[in-house]
Structure 1
Amino acid sequence: MEVEFRRGELSLVVAGPGTGKSLFAAFLAMHGNIPVLYFSADSTAATQVSRCTSMITGRDVKAVKNALLDDSFGDYEKALGDRWWVRFNFSARPSPEEIESTLLCYLEIFGCFPHLLVVDNVTNVDTGGAGDAESYSFGLESLCEYLSDMARETNAHVLGLHHTTGEHSDGLKPIPLSGVKGKIARVPALVVTLHKEIDGMDSRILNASPVKNREGFEDSSGETFVSYRLNRSNLRLEEIGDDLMAYAA
């Protein structure tokens, strides 16, 4: 559907809580096998290590988590070692200054900036207090401008994860551009919203709608989307069918 996560640009992936936006971002990072810096304010180290190891190796995520907790993780260490240029920061409230210093450390160690920088979630970035809804939205938009400038300066693709407005928080219906919390969609070059389908048999379909796309197809209603099956064992996203474009009824 002409969606590309281009270096030097900012994108937002927007979804309700528990829909799968962190899984989406982690799978993009692991599947691409590119230099990555991931600010994981929303998930712990144990959760992210287990998830990413499962995505890389194809092993069951519960078995991986148990091995990590039982200190019997040796079988997985080589797989993680092969992704040596993927790095995580687990600060719960990273400031812009911490993001910058971590970026400079990455450059010093690896000799390049990351190709992908993930901020999970943008609302976790400590930009100072917001006294009301207007100043909250203004602060988020200013943060997006800051992240967009960072993308241009470092030639990284900066991917921010973000929440929806309240009426879309269950994640069960297509989310339009107007469903982005704080109305901060002006700055990003790309905005993708996610909603889920649950079939009652412990299976989940994740639908991705390009509601803003400066360089390709977009449908701001969210009603046009690509569908992926979430493999609940290894947390990989699997393409469904030959024709990936689906239309909501």
Structure 2
Amino acid sequence: MARGRGPMTLLILGGTGEARELAKELAARGEHVVSSLAGRVVRPKLPDGEVRVGGFGGPEGLARWLTENDVAAMIDATHPFAERIGANAAEAARETGTPLLRLARPGWTERPGDTWHWAEDLDHAARLLPALGERVFLTSGRQGLAAFAGLDALWFLIRCVDPPEVALPRRREVLLDRGPYTVDRERALMERHRVDVLVTKDSGGAMTAAKLTAARELDLPVVVVRRPPRPETASVTTVQDALTWLDAETKGSPA
């Protein structure tokens, strides 16, 4: 950050570990950092600095908030599958001239011994499942579970942080849990429930990657849902790179 001036207001569209880490670094520098959370998780892990919960009212509402709060820069550090807020952020940034950065962890990479089947979305994942197994470990989060509701011939172990409030498969068990997870624990869970296929989104990161290693060790097929496209904008994959970008973008910002 540029020195010799008062703190800037920086908006982080958050909800990820990277967003919390970035907020911590910026708060330690003395910046006025505001983290915006969607409010979909009942008891989220709160970042350092100011926190606001809930939507802005579309791109127009976000643009108005950026202007009213004199935001120097906005960082979209939301989940890779939070495509709506990503589109809203890009439109609001264009309208207001606010510098925008996308901070997104890299996706997962298939390794030797993996048997991955890529799906374009959750509906596509559901169509792939009957040919791959009968006992499904479903780790795609509670949003979109209705895509699997009609698969009555399959049994599902559904893991999510909060109780799902949508239509669910008839034959299922719901496990409420939050990462990080270990390989031993994931392997034991899959063996105990006799899982024969895993479904996940390509979220990336280490916190939930253990299930992929466990599936590889158990020689299980994995259905991986591709990330949705995001608007073209400056992007980085690490918090340190985000700090470097902010230093360059805000150099000489007035107090």
Report the TM-score when normalising by structure 1. Answer: 0.31
For the pair shown, which has the larger CA radius of gyration, 1 or 2? Answer: 2
Q: Which has the higher contact order (CA 8 A, sep 6+)?
A: 1
Report the TM-score when normalising by structure 2. Answer: 0.30
